[in-house]
Amino acid sequence: MADGADTSFLDAQVLARLMAQPLLTRFPMEGTVSGHHKSPHRGSSVEFAEYRNYVPGDDIRRLDWRVLARTDRFYLKEFEAETNLRCYFVLDCSASMGFAGKSGTKLDLARRLIATLAYLIVHQGDAAGLLCVGTKTVFDIPPRRNPSHLQTIFKTLKKAAPHGETGLIPALHELAEKVRRRALVLIFSDFFCEAGALLNCFQHLRFQKHDLAVFQLLDRMELDFQFERPVRFVDLESAFSLVTEPAVIRQEYLRQLHAFLSKLRAGCHEFNAEYRQAVTDQDYEKILAGFLVERARHARS
């Protein structure tokens, strides 16, 4: 990285450990240069894919002469073409992402996860871009492969601030229509919006054949709801507030939360989108290591 680059979201030791495992896609990608991700197109590489019949105009160097000798028929060998990856990071910058528990804000964790993954992606020869979404799209940085492009991403992550209601749903539909070539889309949000509308976005992205992974960022206080005294709960994205006794509403709150999380997970499974939950008190390196290893396992299967 260039001298003077902002590396406040990076840890050199973590990067060194994670770089041993490349980020792979679960589905074929379409890129502009050769790389190590499977492509939907056939080409030349070391991995044999299948035979097909010869047609006039085909390159005779790809004829299988042994098959010709045995069958007296002309067959061509086809191989898996490999391509590079374009990754779009989508960061929810709505006010709820600024909720701060004992381990910092959800936005802080998202910044670190995105910065680390962007570094890994660019340094394996792929392209990374960033979309920051508040009430509307705040920043839109197209994917590039140049290592100097990382500095633009890091500066933008530092500028991103939690504010207003979430505009994630319209932004995701717009992204699905805008990005025509297959890409990897990684979404970082607490997903505090209507589940049905959100899952429609995921379905839209998968319909366009994008490889989709969602990171739901939550605070331990939101998951456990361990409040003892009367508390004023304030909606960070509106003027609504409620003073209540936590013990009275805890059981219903947890029931509603678990129902929402179950619906989100089930929807991701239905549309073949990868779901990962990230809690602010977790080690971000373990979150990323699990993500990378699981993708490598899927790519080998």
Domain 12-21+85-300 sits in CATH 3.50.50.60: no
Best CA proximity match to 132, nearest among 79, 181, 187, 78: 187
Query: Residue 10 and residue 138: Cα distance in Å, rounded?
Result: 23
Strand bridging mode 127-133 / 211-218: unpaired
Average the pLDDT over 251-255 and give the result. 94
**What would the pLDDT profile of 156-205 be if each residue is shown by its tens digit?**
999 999 999 999 999 999 999 999 889 999 999 999 999 999 999 999 99
Dihedral of the alpha carbons of 39, 44, 49, 52, in degrees to the nearest 10:
110
Please report how many Cα atoms fall inside a 13 Å half-sphere around the Cα of residue 154, on the Cβ side. 19
pTM for this one? 0.81
65: confidence class by pLDDT, cuts 50, 70, 90: confident
User: Alpha carbon of 151 to those of 73, 93, 125, 170: distances in Å?
Assistant: 56, 20, 16, 28
**What would the pLDDT profile of 254-277 be if each residue is shown by its tens digit?**
999 999 999 999 999 999 999 999
Tokens of 152: 């633009």
Task: Say what the pLDDT of residue 37 is.
Answer: 45
Boundaries of every domain in the chain: 12-21+85-300, 37-83
**What is the average pLDDT value for the chain, to the nearest integer?**
85
Task: Say what the pLDDT of residue 77 is.
Answer: 65
Best CA proximity match to 210, nearest among 233, 180, 237: 180
Best CA proximity match to 2, nearest among 151, 156, 143: 151
44: confidence class by pLDDT, cuts 50, 70, 90: very low
Residues 6+ apart with CB under 8 A from 198: 168, 169, 191, 264, 267
Top-confidence range, 1-5, 144-148, 218-222: 218-222
